[in-house]
Amino acid sequence: MESKEFKALKEQLFSRRRNGFDRLDGAERDTLESYCAGYKAFLDAGKTERLCAAEAIRLAEQAGYRPYVRGMAVKAGDKVYLSNRGKSVLLAHIGEKSLAEGARIAAAHIDSPRLDLKPNPLYEDGELAYFKTHYYGGLRKYQWVTIPLELHGVVALRDGTTVQVNIGADAADPRLVITDLLPHLGAEQNKKTLGEAIPGETLNLLLGSEPIGDQEESGRVKLAVMKLLNEKYGITEDDFTSAELEAVPAVKATDIGLDRSMIGAYGHDDRVCAYAALRALLDLDKTPARTAVCVLADKEEIGSDGVTGMQSAAFDTFMEDLCESQGVPLRVCFEKSFCLSADVTAAYDPNFSDVYEKRNAAYLNYGIGLCKYTGARGKSGASDADAETVAYIRNVFDEAGVIWQIAELGKVDAGGGGTVAVYMANRNITTLDAGVPVLSMHAPFETVSKLDCYETYKGMKAVFTAAD
């Protein structure tokens, strides 16, 4: 075989992976930057699932969406949303075709690993005041010490009113911190594994050190802190029992790299896909053929349980209400629907190459990652999309000019993880995982590629507008 013929055959038959920047239309560079600027603003506004839900609703209302009320008549072109207890959001742009033809769904989650306050958190020790915390989701505890933290959430009072708490987000605000052992005294700590070096019960937020009252009294620093909180928020110690307060990193989303090609922030998992799905829905310039649905769920990081998680009936109820308005059984809609489970995947990290299988790993700047299965080891906990589904999305993305790649969460024996895909698939909805590759996933400060963010947005929009 001649060299020319060999090269032609190789070009024809072999997969050719190319960096997305070698494929991106030059005219799209400005669009990419504009999109990412909006995304960074979204991250800064939505440090918790409550704040994220509120920001999503604000953007939706700007785009002409209105609250859905059960029994409301809906027709093609209508744009509606439903807030589920202020912690998750369901949105729909009603399509031209009946829901009997199915919907096109993008499902992401807006909760992220963090530190929650315990119900009885406030205490004093060594004349220092602290909050006790309980970590939420699969975080690495050692990463949360010695970094500045903010506190956000609500305190629900006995009279039914709620108080919004925001400490650390404003430039003039103080920050909180969790201390760590100095290296001079850390000989025994150094012998422990990373998972053991910082016990969960030592993740205590340092609140203050200045006492009030007579020096003969006890609990002076605790009282000083409680006095400050009472003056600002009108709460007492017993009110913490019915509070939902979250400590999150006190960092702003920022460009990373001398070339500004990446974004560093807290909460990319999974707000990077949530924003892509939301923005793609809001940016639809005409009524889609099939109803386009965006699900921004809560509780994914702890198994998607609870009334705001993907395993709850909230999504089914919303869709059933829409179906009833058209006289369509929910089961008929679900079996004809398609869902892109929009969640992040692991980006190949050369510093830790031993846990990745390079042929099937996702890489920065290679576009949205398609993940046929998630789960752990022998695909445990995976929905494992069928070949036809993967082929369908390949075609949709290629037709829309979306840059995409194959993704897998590390070597088979290295571990694994899950998404909401399994819960959508269990509803008899054809489902495939896809999302942005992330470096330092679940860390207080994660990194993503701007190009991958933008291509994920394009991919979501392609799903919503697909002809078939």
- Written as six digits, the tokens of 87 are 């912690």
Q: Are residues 48 and 121 in the same domain?
A: no
- The set of residues, in sequence order, having a beta carbon less than 8 Å from that of 357 and lying 6+ positions away, is 408, 410, 411, 412
- Give me the pLDDT at residue 10, please: 85
Confidence of residue 70 (pLDDT cuts 50, 70, 90): very high
When computed from its CA atoms, the radius of gyration of the chain, rounded to whole angstroms, is 24
Distance CA(51)–CA(43), nearest Å, equals: 10
CB atoms within 10 A of CB 70: 11
- Give me the pLDDT at residue 44, please: 97
Q: Are residues 277 and 367 in the same domain?
A: yes
Q: Are residues 237 and 384 in the same domain?
A: no
Instruction: Kindly report the CATH number assigned to the domain that includes residue 363.
Output: 3.40.630.10
Q: Are residues 410 and 344 in the same domain?
A: yes
Of 36 and 413, the structure prediction assigns the larger pLDDT to 36
Q: Are residues 324 and 450 in the same domain?
A: yes
Mean pLDDT lowest for which of 121-125, 135-139, 371-375, 395-399? 371-375
80-108 confidence digits (pLDDT tens): 999 999 999 999 999 999 999 999 999 99
Average pLDDT, the chain: 95
Would the pLDDT of 26 be above 90? no
101-160 confidence digits (pLDDT tens): 999 999 999 999 999 999 999 999 999 999 999 999 999 999 999 999 999 999 999 998
Residue ending a domain, choose from 217, 249, 281: 249
How many independent structural domains does the chain possess? 2
* pLDDT > 90 fraction of the chain, expressed in percent and rounded: 87
- The secondary structure of 91-133 as a DSSP string is EEE--SS-GGG-EEEEEEE----EEEEEEEEEEEETTEEEEEE
Distance CA(164)–CA(166), nearest Å, equals: 7
CB atoms within 10 A of CB 377: 12
- Give me the pLDDT at residue 106, please: 98
Report the sign of the C-alpha dihedral through residues 459, 30, 447, 364, in that order.
Answer: positive
List beta partners, residue 336. Answer: none
Would the pLDDT of 418 be above 80? yes
Q: Are residues 161 and 230 in the same domain?
A: yes
Does 144 reside within a domain? yes
Range of the domain at 382: 12-112+266-465
Mean pLDDT lowest for which of 4-13, 86-95, 310-319, 336-345? 4-13
- Give me the pLDDT at residue 216, please: 83
| H-type alpha helices, 165-262 | 187-190, 194-197, 220-233
Q: Are residues 314 and 453 in the same domain?
A: yes
Residue ending a domain, choose from 220, 249, 278: 249
- Give me the pLDDT at residue 468, please: 79
Residue ending a domain, choose from 194, 214, 249: 249
